[in-house]
Chain A
Amino acid sequence: MTPPLGKDLLALEPLSADQIQLILDTAEPFKEISERHIKKVPTLRGATIVNLFFEASTRTRISFEFAEKRLSADTVNVASTGSSVSKGETLVDTARNLEAMRIDMVVIRHGASGAPAFLANRIESNVINAGDGTHEHPTQGLLDLLTLRDHYKKLKGLKVCIVGDVLHSRVARSNIWGLQKMGAEVAVCGPRSLLPSAIDDFGVRVFNRIDEAIQWADALNVLRLQLERMQLGYIPSLREYNRVFGVSRERLERAKREVLILHPGPMNRGVEIDSDVADGPFSVILDQVTNGVAIRMAVLYLLSGGKPELAEKAKGEA
């Protein structure tokens, strides 16, 4: 039987609504494991997983590692900053070496868009994309969907606006695909210099002003503004960015209804998001982090061939 997600999880763009739904539903029973006193089940006992991080990451790497360990997999972390080119060894050699060690799964974070697909085409192990360049970050997209679904009990018809540097954001891409497939309405808001020039071809609404976005949206997913965008001339200053696009309490208070606030982290407080919003009553930023572990457990479980209907059973007795 072919596993329900195929061999790899590289992106949300090629997934069907049913497949996304399956991952979200499978994550539900796994949430509870992290609430136990002993946070471990034997589901992936004997499986070997390599976490291959070519880019610095704290949150995503730890989240994957917890998900793997709570499922009893054997994990190895390989952290390597800089591109494979500067490191000397090519990605294809890395792939061959991993394959030679007979591993079961690779979780890869890489600065180059397409690197996980490159790896997946060359090894038999399951490959999970933990963020590649400016392409996708599928598990982040999924945990955002789960967090929104937890709060609103639905995704269909939900109005979600992605705020900030959509051009360079893999989180934005995974969110756009995931939300659209699940029937949500998607908008983006940010300086035009940080939106893809082809954005109008993606069926998303574009807001030039953050206040209009706030009036429209049920939820804002506020993207991190990479500080180097200013040096590269995309925006004039962080100060002005905050004035024009920053999500502040004053702006949210002018909204007609509550607007849920998501942020993939790490936050630049006082740039794209003000502290009293990040820490405020409508922020679900820490719920996202909690859900991240459950989503990653679900993805690991499904890719390893686990049957979705047995997920509840697979986690074992409490």
Chain B
Amino acid sequence: MHPEAAHSRTLILRGGRVVDPTQNRDEVADVAIVDGKIDAIGRGLAENGKRAGARGAGSPEVIDCSGLVVSPGFIDVHCHLREPGREEVETIATGAAAAAAGGFTAVCAMPNTDPVTDNQAAVGFVVRQSQRAGMARVYPIGAISLGQKGEVLAEFGEMVGAGAVAVSDDGKPVASAHLMRTALEYARTFNIPVADHCEEPTLARGGVMNEGVMSMKLGLKGIPDEAEEVMAIRDMLLARLTGGHIHLCHMSTKGSVELIRWGKQQGINVTAEVCPHHLSLTEDAVGNYDTHAKMNPPLRTAEDVEALRAAVKDGTIDVIATDHAPHHYDEKEREFADAPNGIVGLETALGVNITWLVKPGIIDLRTLIERMSCAPARVFHLPAGSLATGKPADVTVFDPAAEWKVDASKFRTKGRNTPYSGVTLMGRAHYTIVDGSVVYRKAH
């Protein structure tokens, strides 16, 4: 026996529709994974593997993927895992398990924890907790400013050394243009994106939903589109000035889409993300003061949703990210203005995206996979996002046609705050494979 063979782990995904935009591949094939790396894609690998097993090369595990899509693993570049500080709401372990159940092989955790993830020790803590959990990979995002106070730059270099993949003061906008300029310049040294939550704070102050007809009817203070757009254009201009990479978080308005399109035409180093809820719901979901429709940025109008969908289709928006934001159930059980912003999204993202984007024919599966896997990996310089030989074996196997009804009580996340409760979605992860190991297997 070959000395290494005893230790080699082989997993074969048999007969799925393998869709990998990075290789321009869309065909029914087997995927062979050896020792946590993509080894080969082709026909008959399962049978060859069995023969090899019979020769004593170690028997591979074979997963039947017929009727399923085999895709590079989904990556969520924007989620809130609440640990440290709010472990009763979510932990890195429960968040990573929820991610795996949603088909995500990696997520990026925002630094608005308590204490704030603004130094190398805090970044290291996230990395360690992620390794302990052993579910989806969790990449830390470090804070832009110490304590997210918007005053003093955090130590980007040390945080990157400890495992941070980007910096952001998400949850809080970077109000100071000078600080944003400096962050964009300084981040260039470490080749990381600066992710901004675009919200002009004086314009958005006190706002709890989209400003417009609904906010007037409900008597709730609105947040105008311009609160986002003013900051989006400022950030792009500062990226032009500095040559830094600005990543615009959770874009929600038609105007932002037009500005990003302009920025890209100008050659500005800008990337942008949109959330599944902004692609599927409008301000009408606030209805009778439903706090599960309260998020920041707020749900906008049908016109905005349409523009955002078109931007996902044409690539103006690079990435779909969840902004997964778990809250304790009773935090949402209160007056609309007092309820916290945000919804959980890791376990519904795939279904929402297929139901509202793929099913109506706005984008195809290849584009969906590009926006949920390949682009996030590219934008945040992460190792996976491709099934090319030698790549880390982070793979999502999903059924794009599976219909299922959302039951929040069955979620892996501790959060139950979703506007999709009881909604029938199409598309669900069956296997989530990280580093060659199956970390999630849908119960049958």
List residues of chain A with CB under 8 Å of any chain B CB: 13, 83-85, 90-92, 110, 112-115, 117-118, 121, 132-136, 170, 173, 196-199, 201-202
Contact = CB atoms under 8 A, between A and B. Distances in A.
The 3 closest A-B pairs by CB, nearest first: A135-B219, A114-B289, A112-B335
A49 B30 CA distance: 71
B216 interface: yes
B219 A134 contact: yes
A196 B289 contact: no
A113 B213 contact: no
Given A84-B338, A92-B334, 17 more contacts: A84-B334, A84-B335, A85-B338, A91-B335, A110-B335, A114-B288, A114-B289, A114-B335, A114-B336, A115-B335, A134-B220, A135-B218, A136-B219, A170-B219, A196-B216, A199-B216, A202-B216
Contacts of B222: 197
B63 interface: no
B243 to A, nearest CB: 37
Nearest to B202: A233
Nearest to A13: B217
A301 B338 CA distance: 33
A121 B336 CA distance: 14
B217 A112 contact: no
Contacts of B336: 112-114, 118
A135 B335 CA distance: 13
A127 to B, nearest CB: 13
Nearest to A170: B219
A199 to B, nearest CB: 7
A96 B343 CA distance: 26
Contacts of B330: 90, 92
Interface in B303-343: 330, 333-338
A200 B175 CA distance: 32
Given A91-B334, A202-B216, A118 B211 contact: no
A90 B334 contact: yes
B53 to A, nearest CB: 59
A206 B336 CA distance: 30
A133 B337 contact: yes
A118 B289 contact: yes
Nearest to A136: B219
B419 interface: no
Interface string B188-222: 00000000000000000000000111011111111
B337 A197 contact: no
A114 B218 contact: yes
Residue of B212, B219, B220, B334 with most partner-chain A CB within 10 A: B219
B33 to A, nearest CB: 50
A112 B337 contact: yes
B335 A197 contact: no
A233 to B, nearest CB: 10
Interface of B: 211-213, 215-222, 224, 288-289, 330, 333-338
B353 to A, nearest CB: 30
A136 B216 CA distance: 11
A81 to B, nearest CB: 15
Nearest to B216: A196
A135 B334 CA distance: 16
Given A92-B330, A197-B211, A197-B224, A113 B338 contact: no
B289 A117 contact: yes
Contacts of A110: 335
Contacts of B288: 114, 117, 121
B265 to A, nearest CB: 30
Contacts of A114: 218-220, 288-289, 335-337
Given A114-B289, A170-B219, A198 B338 contact: no
B216 A198 contact: yes
B220 A83 contact: no
6 contacts: A92-B330, A115-B335, A133-B220, A170-B219, A196-B216, A201-B213
B335 A118 contact: yes
A90 B339 CA distance: 11
B201 to A, nearest CB: 14
B75 to A, nearest CB: 37
A170 B338 CA distance: 19
Given A92-B330, A113-B220, A121-B288, A198 B215 contact: yes
Given A92-B334, A135-B218, A202-B216, A113 B211 contact: no
Nearest to A167: B216
B301 to A, nearest CB: 11
A202 B221 CA distance: 17
Contacts of B224: 197
Contacts of A199: 216
Nearest to A166: B216
A113 B218 contact: yes
A291 B221 CA distance: 31
Contacts of A133: 219-220, 337
Contact of A173 (B219, B221, B335): B219
B213 A198 contact: yes
A129 B415 CA distance: 32
A134 B211 CA distance: 14
A134 B338 CA distance: 14
Nearest to A233: B202
Contacts of B338: 83-85, 112
